[in-house]
Structure 1
Amino acid sequence: MNTLSKSRFTTRNITSIAVMAALSVILVAMIHIPMFLPFLEYDPADIPIFITTFAFGPLVGFILTVIVAVLQGITVSASAGIIGIMMHIFATGIFVIVAGNIYKRNKTRKNAAVALVVGVAVWTVAMVIWNIIVTPLYMGVPREEVIALVVPAILPFNLIKAGINSVLTFALYKTVGRLFGLKEVKSVKECPVEK
């Protein structure tokens, strides 16, 4: 087992991850802005998950995604039900797996930007497909109606939500990493926002 694997599950790191999970739930409770359609809302809850993914890797990021999605789904976002939980896991999960795997190969500022941009693209495409398949079943509307909403609502919403959260992740990663003493941001070389 390498040093990183050993350091991943120290008491301090587990506490940091738990705090990020709580912060994610608090953010969605405090900030949710309707966009385009009543059931599409921007929230910054994924930012702590993205930061944790960069600090601890895509597996930890995905596990945190599942935990947060369930916590949100039974508390502040209970009205969305199981579909909301699944949608959150699918959207954020695919982002953290893709972006986290890109970033962990080369932990530089430039590669962090690449990872986030690719993550946004994959999230957006995946959620367009998800909505076309699942939303007609969830909302009881014809698939044609959902397809008609792709360009004016679903596509821009997902680009904006994932894009804003990625930009904020890029800007905050260094500061939050230092605040929580996350192991992988102690080196200037490894910090994605260091010039």
Structure 2
Amino acid sequence: MQNKTTNIRKLTGTAMLGAVAAVLMYMEFPIPIMPSFVKLDVSELPALLAAYAYGPVSGIAVCLIKNLIKLPSTSTAAVGELFNFVMGALFVGVAGFVYKRSKTRRSALIGAGLGALAMAVVSVPYNYFIVYPAYVVLYHLPLEAIIGMYQAINPSVDGLLTCLITFNFPFTLFKGLLDAALCFLIYKPLSGVLHGRK
């Protein structure tokens, strides 16, 4: 009976965090040091909370839920949503797996750092081989025009790979670390609610 109650709590908590993540996904905004089509949001925060509270599978499920909710209003032919899911799942999957093996504050910090790093590293080849070529085909936007948007910020960058390493890698790493920092600020106050103790 206790296991059944725990599973119901996990499912309910995961679904609720998925809905919150979807709302946060819409609350995105551009930042001056990136091209205007790259925006910042903290929608991985609820997924990270789920990964720490219920395990890595729940964290990945939150990433899936938020992107499924966003999909009907996609402006990227689902390319952006798929990218967001893969990056988010990688981030919270690594963080949740490390924390599950040793449930300490130190392992949570290490897991979040490794997850953010993994997400940033994988984002470069994923953007290079999948996302940007898809945008070129779908929107008939010349690759030179995309690179030009980066060069408007830093004229020294030359080529898509250089742009991704110079801009997207540190941006994605920062995004993951920001979500992690916010998670550590609010996890303890929310822990009782997430685990059904309040």
TM-score above 0.5, yes or no: yes
Aligned mate of 1:115, from 111, 115, 140 = 111
| Superposed CA offset, 1:73-129 (max 9, x none) | 324xx1123101210111011112211110001111111101101111101001111
TM-score of the superposed pair, with normalisation by structure 1: 0.81
Q: Match of 2:38, SS?
A: strand
| Counterpart position of 1:168 | 182
Q: For residue 148 of structure 1, what is the amino acid of its counterpart?
A: T
Task: Report percent identity of matched pairs.
Answer: 24
User: Within the alignment, does 1:47 sit opposite 2:45 as a pair?
Assistant: yes
Listed as ranges, the matches of 1:11-26 within 5 Å are: 12-26=9-23
Listed as ranges, the matches of 1:1-195 within 5 Å are: 6-10=4-8, 12-29=9-26, 31-35=27-31, 36-75=34-73, 78-140=74-136, 141=143, 145-182=159-196
Q: For residue 69 of structure 2, what is the amino acid of its counterpart?
A: L
**Residues 177 and 54 of structure 1: CA distance in aligned 2, closer, same or farther (over 3 Å):** same
Please list every run of 5 or more consecutive structure 2 residues that lacks an aligned counterpart in the other structure: 137-142, 148-157
What is the CA-CA distance between 1:8 and the residue it aligns to?
3.9
| Superposed CA offset, 1:15-49 (max 9, x none) | 222221111111122x2121301221110111001
TM-score of the superposed pair, with normalisation by structure 2: 0.80
Larger Rg computed on CA atoms: 2
Q: For the Cα contact (< 8 Å) 2:14–2:61, is it kept in 1?
A: no
* Deviates most, 36-45 or 63-72: 63-72
Q: For the Cα contact (< 8 Å) 2:117–2:173, is it kept in 1?
A: yes
Please list every run of 5 or more consecutive structure 1 residues that lacks an aligned counterpart in the other structure: 187-195
